[in-house]
Structure 1
Amino acid sequence: MLNLKTNDRIENQPVIVRQISKKINQNGKEYYSLQISYGIKNYDAKIWNSNIGVSEEIIPGSVVNIWGVVREFKGNLQIHIDKILHISNPSSDLLEKITPSCSLEEDKLAKRLAEIIGTIKNEYLNQLLNNIFSSPDIKEAFYKKAAGVEIHHAYTGGLAQHTIEVAETVIQLCKIYNYIDYDMAVAGALLHDIGKIVELSNFPENKYTTLGRLLGHINIGTQIIEKYTSQINKFPEDVKLELQHCILSHHGSLETGSPVLPMTLEALVIHNADKTSAELNGFYLAIQRDVKNDDWTDYNNTFKRYIKKS
């Protein structure tokens, strides 16, 4: 963890560049504005001296070493960079050290996923889930990708963590509302964001891929369901359609990106479980990332409010 304080001097510090842009101040002088990260923390940074050599290789997702000093600006920490050097081939150890990651280990996430799949009695859904999550391409990406670029579960392992949180919430709601189809609701929960294995790139970049921007994870997810159900002999058409509906409607409204509204009990419970997981983690990340020197975060544009840290 990089815990910085006002007036700290930074020497040869590796960080990930999240954003970088050249701007012009009121006096017509050029400067660079950056957002950099180390682990879960994001920092605002500036290069006021435009004569400092900024390589063309320094783009969002690149790993760099920086030198500079920490200042305070409007209650927030701001790093004034004196020197910045691109790291061409960062080692796996360095990437693991500076990349934001899930607090849960991959083997524990995989074990819980297998346990949840084991509770599903519908033979077609059970086989479908086992086929999807045992596929080498999907398995590798599922435990490495984030669930979002910035807002929620935006770290390695975040997609798997978010998926299991949604499934766990659905399981508990099924205990309360026993008229929900458990197998369909839990299967839909486990597959609702499966398209994100393609929609988002790997860390340290973690941005939308071209396919992700053009199609989005919801459409990609329904395509994955189409592909894997076609490989199972006599997979029921009605089960496939209801499962695809759960994916298509899980954002809950047309305004938030769902092509259709939830029209089954199972789709509705998945939407609400997804919303709960995303918002709670979004709040938590906002608190963890904040570098303001008081008990409240800076104004959060996503949630349109200040968030109390303690």
Structure 2
Amino acid sequence: MKDTNINGLQPGDEVNGEFAVRSKKLLPYRDGTGCFLGLTLANKTGQVEGRVWEQADEVNKCCRAGDVVRVSGRVAEYKGTIQLNLTAVGKCPDDEVVPERFIPSTGVPAKKVWEDWLNIASSIGNPHLKQLLTLMANDHNLLQCLAASPAAKRNHHAKLGGLWEHSLGMVKAAEGTAAAYSQVNRDLLITGALLHDIGKIEEFRARADIEYTDAGRLLGHIILGVELVNRYIAKVPGFPKTLRLKLLHMIVSHHGQYEWQSPKRPKFLEAAILHQLDMMDAQVDMFTEAAAGRDDTEDNWAGWVRGLDRYVFCG
């Protein structure tokens, strides 16, 4: 089924397609005679409001936010805004949901992630860190998860493959930083950049939308990342105790501040640099996406960007 281009909808168009349910709510008619169902429907082209006027209570029970539904209806205009008047709504089976239809994607294949990871591992001089990264590269399920995972639910790199895009950007920035400052331990900084957010493969689940897993809500990616990396370290014979502590500390402290949910603040040079690189790469993506997402590309300003807490100048 071809995806509906939400931005191209015009009043009178018939719509038969699949959409992710972002939110839904039963709302009362003004005369108090009953309720209609308001839905926010989305795919990767945008989102649109939908209305179910008849049998609203039954349709409300058949789906929930986060589901994918097949709908039929017609486009109408209400107070200058496009909305869908829906005559049929049915939930799609979970095993038929294709996340790429509803969530933006970098399109990076797992094989490319594997090749890039091995190239990074081959550049590491420290034998224990090299062995750790090579061991992780041989876990194809791990790298497939990494290739498909987002780096966030909303603010930065919030797309399929966004976690790898963010991690690889950090590695490249770490390379440049290590080249500029001779006192930096290059191998440790690059390994920390590659692994700092690895817990996000267990924090997020991407189907019709980017959602938090139970483990993500209860533990978060920092704790999950420490546990994951620790399991691999345990498989590397003779991994030095101090090197293990430093690498795990980099994961634990990369948010930098306690008020940003960082269990620890950075306590050595490479950990401090990692925190700055993390902020930098995230902000590069947020500024870039703000400029690219303008409705009018001739406008000098993007709208308010929540993650940056400001308007963004694009002139």
Quick check: TM above 0.5?
A: yes
Amino acid at match of 1:182: R
Q: TM-score, normalised by structure 1?
A: 0.85
> What is the CA deviation profile of residues 222-254 of structure 1, one whole-angstrom value per residue up to 9, with x for unaligned ones?
111221111211110100000011101111211
Structure with the higher fraction of residues in strand conformation: 2
Classify 1:57/1:128 alpha carbon distance in 2 versus 1 (closer, same or farther; 3 Å). Answer: farther
1:88-107 equivalences in 2 (<5 Å): 88=93, 91=96, 95-107=99-111
How far apart in 1 are the matches of 2:225 and 2:128? 18
* Paired residues of 2:202 and 2:216 also in contact (CA < 8 A): yes
Q: CA deviation at 1:117?
A: 1.6
Secondary structure (helix, strand or coil) at the match of 2:175 reads helix
CA-based RMSD: 3.0
Q: CA deviation at 1:137?
A: 3.5
> What is the CA deviation profile of residues 3-57 of structure 1, one whole-angstrom value per residue up to 9, with x for unaligned ones?
5146353511222223333455887674545443322x43242426364452534
Partner of 1:11: 15
- Which has the higher relative contact order, 1 or 2, with Cα contacts under 8 A spaced 6 or more apart? 1
Partner of 1:217: 221
1:117-266 equivalences in 2 (<5 Å): 117-266=121-270
> What is the CA deviation profile of residues 66-87 of structure 1, one whole-angstrom value per residue up to 9, with x for unaligned ones?
334264878xx65334243322
Amino acid at match of 2:46: N
Q: CA deviation at 1:102?
A: 0.8
Partner of 1:69: 75
Secondary structure (helix, strand or coil) at the match of 2:17 reads strand
5+ long unaligned stretches in structure 2: none
Amino acid at match of 2:121: I
Classify 1:6/1:142 alpha carbon distance in 2 versus 1 (closer, same or farther; 3 Å). Answer: closer
* Paired residues of 2:74 and 2:85 also in contact (CA < 8 A): yes
How far apart in 1 are the matches of 2:10 and 2:212? 36
1:37-116 equivalences in 2 (<5 Å): 37-39=42-44, 41-47=45-51, 49=53, 51-52=55-56, 54-66=59-71, 67-69=73-75, 71=77, 78-83=82-87, 84-88=89-93, 91=96, 95-116=99-120
Classify 1:266/1:49 alpha carbon distance in 2 versus 1 (closer, same or farther; 3 Å). Answer: same
Amino acid at match of 2:166: H
How far apart in 2 are the matches of 1:137 and 1:214? 23
- Give 1:305's match in structure 2, choosing from 294, 307, 310: 310
How far apart in 2 are the matches of 1:25 and 1:257? 44
Q: CA deviation at 1:262?
A: 1.4
Identity %: 26
Range 253-262 or range 64-73, more displaced: 64-73
* Paired residues of 2:21 and 2:66 also in contact (CA < 8 A): yes
Classify 1:78/1:127 alpha carbon distance in 2 versus 1 (closer, same or farther; 3 Å). Answer: farther
Classify 1:111/1:236 alpha carbon distance in 2 versus 1 (closer, same or farther; 3 Å). Answer: same
Range 7-16 or range 260-269, more displaced: 7-16
Classify 1:18/1:291 alpha carbon distance in 2 versus 1 (closer, same or farther; 3 Å). Answer: farther
How far apart in 2 are the matches of 1:292 and 1:22? 34
How far apart in 1 are the matches of 2:77 and 2:290? 21
How far apart in 2 are the matches of 1:225 and 1:206? 23
* Paired residues of 1:63 and 1:90 also in contact (CA < 8 A): no
> What is the CA deviation profile of residues 136-191 of structure 1, one whole-angstrom value per residue up to 9, with x for unaligned ones?
43222111211111222222211111111111111111111221110000000110
Q: TM-score, normalised by structure 2?
A: 0.84
Higher Rg of the two aligned structures: 2
Classify 1:283/1:244 alpha carbon distance in 2 versus 1 (closer, same or farther; 3 Å). Answer: same
How far apart in 2 are the matches of 1:202 and 1:304? 26
* Paired residues of 2:26 and 2:60 also in contact (CA < 8 A): no
How far apart in 1 are the matches of 2:243 and 2:183? 17
